[in-house]
Structure 1
Amino acid sequence: MQRSIDLGAASVVVRSPLREFNAQLDLLYRDHSQAGDSGFADVRVALLPGPPWRVWGPQVRLWSEASCPFDPYPLDSALPLFEWGTNWLLAQRLNAHVLLHAGVVAREDRALILPAAPGSGKSTLTCALHLAGWRFLSDEFGVLDTESGLLHPLLKPAALKNRSIDIIGGQPGAVLGPVFAGTRKGDVAHFAPDRASVAARRRPVTPALVVFPRYREGAALRCEPVRRAEAAMRLGLNSFNYRKLGPVGFDAILRLARTAPAWEIEYGALADALPCIEQLFGKAS
């Protein structure tokens, strides 16, 4: 089966004969994919089974541009390979924009940006905010327009890991795909954004607030402002292509740091973090 997936800021065409994998795509991309090939795509991939005589059991490979850029995965882990593989390919190709490693949610077309390193709780916090009524734009890529300064949605499922799966999966309205146990990043399940967010994937938003989150088990809530110079540095460090874009990326990051106030929060419970963020966002209005 072949389908086109319109993510907003980018498009993906994926082809695969694997029934289980296609059923998982039907669940997670139910609102923004269509059968067939719509023409231009930023990324084209095929998820194909490997040779049946492999010593380590049935495997799946991701093909793109007539090459396999990644090691094969177990056949029943085609979805994690697709998600991580397309993220990597998008990060290599979308150089018309600054790509922040950040979750992005919005209220009334005003964006909250959550830049963070892996392990900071970014994905869990992004999904929790979405379930609390925020519009979902991205969990992995903050797509910053270098000319307008706006942020474009890139609607892909959020990859939740380990304890985050139960924390988010147990909340009303959460739609998660299957749990893939024992991957290279631990247990993983994918969270699907809601229909309204997908429908708005062509509508950019204005940056209003930057919050650098850091989850630490058992920590009391701590919330501190971040100076503009430090915010600009940290935004650049949490970017996939900041150095590659040179002065264009520098100017875009500097403008973002000047226009959107930045804060750092450390927290041990979502029940503490969410009201704090709501308060900061209200002050940034």
Structure 2
Amino acid sequence: MIDLGAARVAVNSPLNDFNAHLDLVYQHHGDGDPLSFADVRVSLLPSRGMRFWKGRVSLWSEATCPFEPYPMRSALPLFEWGSNWLLAQRLNAYLLLHAGVVARDDRALILPAAPGSGKSTLTCALHLAGWRFMSDEFGVLDPDSGNLLPLLKPAALKNRSIAIIGAHPQARLGPVFPGTRKGDVAHFVPLRDSIVERHRHARPRLVIFPRYRDGGTLKCTPLDAANTAMRLGLNSFNYRTLGAVGFDAVVRLARTTRAFELEYGDLSTAIAHIDTLFAEHA
């Protein structure tokens, strides 16, 4: 049983290498009773049946296999992407933003972005610069309280980001999985203090839509509440599913935070600017 904060995932597998990788990237999450409640239950099992599936692994959840088998060496990426997909289907008590979330004390910064925008790299870099890590993939917003809940899963770094984040002396990464469907992938492990505080909520104060451009100069543009609400809805897994609840949640979030679009080409410059914005508006 893996306690992520906002959710619990039960996983079992006979695959020794996968279990070793899981132990590496989910240190300090605790091992609860495997028979207790879990939001998602998965099994990673060797694929059987067709001959061309030999040497592959399948993810099963509640007697269904929602994805094609992966190569056996990519069992951890399959678990990460598969469990993310399952959590996005099932955590409909919350508004789920596709966003990184970091915090200072109990005030949160939300980083919503489309894939390829540099969200994960920036989220990890901010964490290594002293921010509390709350999530990389899911911004979990409670529509009733307006608070953000941590969902402490490792961040999937891809291609160039692996070396950039891995060069930091405090960074802990799992093994590199070359040639996946998303390129080379390695999983960044949040620092222990953030994992220990995975049940500590935070109040959203600042929203930044990041966009990395190689060699680009820093450009920061303020956004009004209407534009912010529209973009938050577009960067949500379950906005349409929640209907009026989702609409009210994004409008409330847009009205109670300050929002900016940030284009950058250098991580250290972006972090310094974010620190300044947060000091001014949070």
- Normalising by structure 1, report the TM-score: 0.97
Q: 1:217 aligns with which of 201, 214, 225?
A: 214
Structure 2 residue aligned with 1:123: 120
Structure 2 residue aligned with 1:29: 26
1:238 aligns to 2:235 (yes or no): yes
Structure 1 residue aligned with 2:153: 156
- The whole-number CA distance in structure 2 between the counterparts of 1:136 and 1:38 is 28
Structure 2 residue aligned with 1:227: 224
- The whole-number CA distance in structure 1 between the counterparts of 2:180 and 2:236 is 25
Is the Cα–Cα contact under 8 Å of residues 98 and 143 in structure 1 kept in the other structure? yes
Structure 1 residue aligned with 2:7: 10
Q: 1:68 aligns with which of 65, 70, 92?
A: 65
- The whole-number CA distance in structure 1 between the counterparts of 2:59 and 2:222 is 43
- The whole-number CA distance in structure 2 between the counterparts of 1:38 and 1:172 is 38
- The whole-number CA distance in structure 2 between the counterparts of 1:81 and 1:87 is 10
Is the Cα–Cα contact under 8 Å of residues 52 and 58 in structure 1 kept in the other structure? no
Give the partner amino acid of 1:193: P
How far 1:56 sits from its partner (Å)? 5.6
Is the Cα–Cα contact under 8 Å of residues 161 and 189 in structure 1 kept in the other structure? yes
- The whole-number CA distance in structure 1 between the counterparts of 2:274 and 2:225 is 19
- The whole-number CA distance in structure 2 between the counterparts of 1:13 and 1:119 is 30
How far 1:34 sits from its partner (Å)? 1.0
SS of the equivalent of 1:266 reads strand
1:173 aligns to 2:170 (yes or no): yes
1:275 aligns to 2:272 (yes or no): yes
How far 1:284 sits from its partner (Å)? 1.0
- The whole-number CA distance in structure 2 between the counterparts of 1:38 and 1:208 is 38
Give the partner amino acid of 1:95: N
- The whole-number CA distance in structure 1 between the counterparts of 2:257 and 2:77 is 34
- The whole-number CA distance in structure 2 between the counterparts of 1:96 and 1:159 is 25
- Normalising by structure 2, report the TM-score: 0.98
Give the partner amino acid of 2:149: H
Q: 1:188 aligns with which of 185, 203, 208?
A: 185
- The whole-number CA distance in structure 2 between the counterparts of 1:212 and 1:36 is 39
Unpaired runs of 5+ residues, structure 2, are none
Name the stretch that deviates more: 33-42 or 115-124: 33-42
How far 1:55 sits from its partner (Å)? 2.8
Is the Cα–Cα contact under 8 Å of residues 97 and 235 in structure 2 kept in the other structure? yes
How many residues align? The count is 282
Q: Which string of whole-angstrom CA distances, capped at 9 and with x for unpartnered residues, describes residues 50-108 of structure 1? A: 13873364000000000100000001110000000000000000000000000000001
Structure 2 residue aligned with 1:80: 77
Structure 2 residue aligned with 1:253: 250
- The whole-number CA distance in structure 2 between the counterparts of 1:193 and 1:20 is 21
Moved over 3 A (4+): none
SS of the equivalent of 2:51 reads coil
Name the stretch that deviates more: 49-58 or 75-84: 49-58
